Structure 1
Amino acid sequence: MFKRFALLFCNACLVAVLSSCGAGDLGGGVGEFTTVNATATALTSRLESDIVKGNNCSDSVSTGGTVVTDSVNVAFASKALYTTGALDLVISKITIHYTPVNSATTPPIPDSYVNISQTVVPGDTPTIPVAVLTDAQKIALMERTTLPMTLCSSSVFEYWVDIVFDVSEVGGKGETHPVTAKMNLAVADRI
C-alpha cells in the first residue's frame, strides 16, 4: 500500500513539474497563462503612412495638408485552456516598438506607450485600435537634423513594428506577460 501511495505521489509531483514548464511568451505573439492563452494579430500587416495628408507639391514645395495620427486595429484573442475555470485577462499597457528595416537610410523612432485597462473574457476577440504613428512622431521625423523626412520627395522610411500588450490574468498568479502583434510600417509623403 505504501509503495502505491509513494508511486502516486511521485507521479503527481512529476505532472506538476512538467505542467509548469514553458515561458510566458512562447513567440509568435502567444501568451500562456494558467487558464487561457492569448494572441494578438494586427489586422493591417503593412501600413503605408502618409506623413502629410492632402498636401500639394509644386517645384518640390509642399503646400496645405494636415498631419494626422495613423492607427491600426489589432484582434486580441483569449482562448480558454479548460472547459471550466478560465479567468479574464486585463491589458494594462501597450508598447509600440519600431525597428528600422535599413538603419543607414531610416532614422530610429523611440518606443511609444499607451496606458490602458481593458478586460478580455475567455473566448472573446475584441478589436483594439492602436496608434502606430502619432502626429507628434510624424512632426519629429520631419524636423530631424539628420535623416529628416523630406516632403515632396521619394523618401520612404520602413520599420518593423511590434505592438506589445502587457497582460495579466485576473485572479491568477499576478504575473504580467507580453503578447505581441507584428506589422510593417512604411512612411512617406504620398501625393
Structure 2
Amino acid sequence: MLKKFSLLFCLVCSTAALTSCGGGDVGGGVGEFTTVTATASAKTNPFESDILTANSCSATGVSSGGTVQTDNVDVNFVSTAQFSSGRLLDLSISKITIRYTPAPGGTVPAPALADSFVSYSQPVPPNTSVTIPVPVLSRDQKLLLLNRSTQAMPLCTGTTFRYYVDIIFEVSEVGGNGDVKAVTAKTTLDVADSI
C-alpha cells in the first residue's frame, strides 16, 4: 500500500511540475503563446525627437517659426511558430502602452513624463513580421515639455532630455486560451530642439 501511495504521489508531483512549464513571458521582450512566440524591437535606437520642427534661431537664441509634430518610431513585431506542423494561431494586438523613464545622458535631468496609450487592432499571422509605427512622442507631450512651469524644454540651446522608453504591446492568441501577454520593445529617446 505504501509503495502504491508513493508511486501515485510521484506521478502527481511530476504532472504538476510539467503543467507549470511554459506559458507566460519568457523574458527579454518575448511573449510565449500556445502555438507561436512574439517579439518586438524598435528599428531606431536611440531615437532623436525634434521638439519644434523647422524653427529658426536668431544670433541671440530666440526661436521663430516651426511646428510641433508627433514623432513615430517603427517597431518590428514578429510572430514565430513554435511547431513545424499543426494548427498555428494568429496573434491580435489590442493596445500599446508607451512608458517613459528619465535616463542619464541628457544635458540636464529629464522631467517625468506620463505613460501614453494607443488603442490598436491588428492581427498578425504566424511566421509574419509587421512594421508598426508607434507615436513615441506625441504633439501634446511635446507641448507639455515646452510649457512646463518648471524645467521646460528651452529652445535654441542644445538642451537634451533623455528617456528610456518601453513600448508595450498587449497581445492575445486568436482562438487560444484568452491570455493577454505583454510583448515589449525598447528604445532610448533623446528630446531636443534640433538646430
What is the TM-score when the length of structure 2 is the normalising length?
0.88
Moved over 4 A (4+): 10-13
Contact kept in structure 1, 2:55 and 2:65, CA below 8 Å: yes
Structure 2: state its 5+ residue gaps. 1-6
Out of 130, 134, 140, which is 2:144 matched to?
140
User: Separation in 2 of the partners of 1:128 and 1:16?
Assistant: 39
Structure 1 unaligned regions, length at least 5: 1-6
1:69 aligns with 2:70: yes
Quick one: which of 159, 168, 188 aligns to 1:164? 168
Aligned to 2:4: none
Superposition pairs of residues 78-93 of structure 1, within 5 angstroms? 78-83=79-84, 84-93=86-95
What is the count of residue pairs matched by the alignment?
187
Aligned AA (2:164): W
Q: Distance in 1 between matches of 2:15 and 2:71?
A: 48
Q: What TM-score, normalized by structure 1, do the two folds share?
A: 0.90
Q: Report the Cα distance in structure 2 between the residues aligned to 1:44 and 1:24, rounded to whole angstroms.
A: 27
Tell me the equivalent position of 2:181: 177
How much has 1:13 moved relative to structure 2? Answer: 8.0
How far apart are residue 11 of structure 1 and its match?
6.5
Q: 1:125 is paired with a residue of what secondary structure?
A: strand
Q: CA deviation at 1:24?
A: 1.5
Give the whole-Å Cα distance in 2 for the aligned partners of 1:31 and 1:72.
21
Task: Supply the RMSD in Å over aligned alpha carbons.
Answer: 2.4
What is the match of residue 123 of structure 2?
119
CA distance in 1, matches of 2:12, 2:87: 21
C-alpha spacing 1:62/1:131, structure 2 compared with 1 (3 Å): same
- Aligned equivalents of 1:27 and 1:188: distance in 2? 32
Distance 1:71 1:88, change over 3 A: same
